[in-house]
């Protein structure tokens, strides 16, 4: 499902006046694309993701999905957060089944779908495990399986691997690429890790410091699967990191002026 962002701006009220988080963001996300957004902390990346999810309303501008404006949350767009936001009173299988239960799917179909999705994320042996028994990486796999269970058109991922160690993060990079290639879902992935963006994305957008605006766009046409240690990954990441540095210098100049 394609998404079109038209002149989106977002302000937040503070005691000292209005704080601009996003400044006139225009972009199109193609159906089935894996888009990554990178930028410094506080640049409005997560705010934009919340607007795409319908959890936040833009101060100005609009977002169209399939030609229709976003008016609020919708099961066709599912967000995955850094902490996973799983239900601790349910098992891994129960978490994956939750959305299907809300859709009133028959028990046998729910069980079959959850088992299939847990297998897709390599957790077929952990369906009966409680959330506290799982590692951080395993919890994020459960969160991914739960999101996929309701068959959304768009997955919105807000730094889901940011708190994980490097080895676990690399393993999940590979698994997320597999899921994307298997399902063909549109994915929008926010991160501050430049190499992660290159490994995962078809396209990487670089955001400026707050208020966030698009500084540059990078097409990543490397074969998959990709790895953070690949030379080509490092070369692309170096160019993107340079844009981030230049964007920060421009922002410093503006503040000094």
Residues 70 and 163 placed together within one structural domain of the fold = yes
- pLDDT score at 256: 41
Residues 108 and 176 grouped into a single domain: no
Residue 174 located in a structural domain: yes
Task: Please report the pLDDT score of residue 82 as a whole number.
Answer: 80
Predicted confidence at residue 1, as pLDDT, reads 72
Tell whether 71 and 174 lie within a shared domain.
Answer: yes
Q: According to DSSP H, which parts of 136-223 are helical?
A: 136-149, 166-183, 194-200
Residue linked to tokens 């400026």: 208
126 and 248 share a domain?
no
Instruction: Please state, in angstroms and as integers, the Cα–Cα distance from residue 67 to each residue in 1, 2, 79, 153, 203, following that order.
Output: 10, 8, 21, 14, 22
Distance between CA 109 and CA 125 in Å, rounded? 19
CATH number of the domain within which 70 lies? 3.40.50.300
Domain C-terminal end among 112, 133, 151: 151
**Is residue 32 situated within a structural domain?**
yes
Whether residues 130 and 162 share a domain: the answer is no
pLDDT at 249: 58
Domain count, the chain: 2
DSSP-derived secondary structure letter, 186: E
Residue 68, token pair as written in the block: 């229709």
Beta-sheet strand order (sheet of 3-14)? 17-29, 3-14, 60-65, 68-69
Assigned domain for 81 exists: no
Is 233 found in the same domain as 159?
yes
Domain span including residue 115: 86-151
Residues 157 and 202 both lie in one domain: yes
Write down the pTM of the prediction: 0.91
* Sheet containing 77-80: order of strands: 77-80, 154-158, 186-191, 34-38, 203-207, 214-219
Do 184 and 249 share a domain, yes or no?
A: yes
The rounded average pLDDT for each run of 10 residues, N- to C-terminus, in the chain (257 residues) is 93 88 95 96 93 96 93 92 85 92 87 93 94 93 93 94 89 93 95 95 95 95 93 95 79 46
Let me know whether 68 and 91 are in one domain: no
């Amino acid at each position: 499902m394609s998404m079109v962002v038209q002149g989106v701006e977002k302000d937040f009220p503070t005691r000292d006046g209005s704080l601009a988080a996003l400044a006139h963001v225009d972009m199109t996300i193609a159906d089935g694309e894996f888009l990554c957004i990178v930028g410094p902390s506080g640049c409005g990346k997560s705010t934009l993701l919340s607007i795409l999810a319908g959890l936040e309303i833009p101060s100005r501008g609009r977002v169209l999905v399939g030609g229709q404006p976003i008016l609020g949350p919708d099961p066709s767009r599912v967000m995955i957060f850094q902490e996973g936001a799983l239900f601790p009173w349910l098992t891994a299988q129960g978490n994956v089944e939750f959305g299907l239960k809300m859709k009133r799917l028959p028990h046998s179909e729910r069980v079959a779908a959850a088992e299939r999705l847990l297998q897709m994320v390599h957790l077929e042996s952990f369906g009966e495990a409680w959330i506290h028994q799982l590692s951080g990486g395993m919890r994020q796999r459960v969160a991914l399986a739960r999101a996929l269970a309701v068959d959304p058109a768009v997955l919105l991922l807000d730094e889901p691997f940011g708190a994980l160690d490097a080895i676990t993060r690399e393993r999940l990079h590979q698994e997320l690429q597999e899921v994307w290639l298997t399902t063909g879902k549109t994915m929008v992935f926010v991160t501050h890790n430049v190499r992660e963006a290159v490994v995962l994305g078809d396209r990487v957008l670089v955001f400026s410091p707050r208020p966030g605006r698009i500084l540059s766009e990078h097409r990543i046409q490397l074969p998959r699967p990709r790895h953070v240690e690949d030379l080509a990954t490092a070369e692309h990441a170096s160019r993107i990191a340079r844009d981030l540095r230049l964007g920060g210098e421009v922002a410093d100049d503006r503040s000094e002026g």
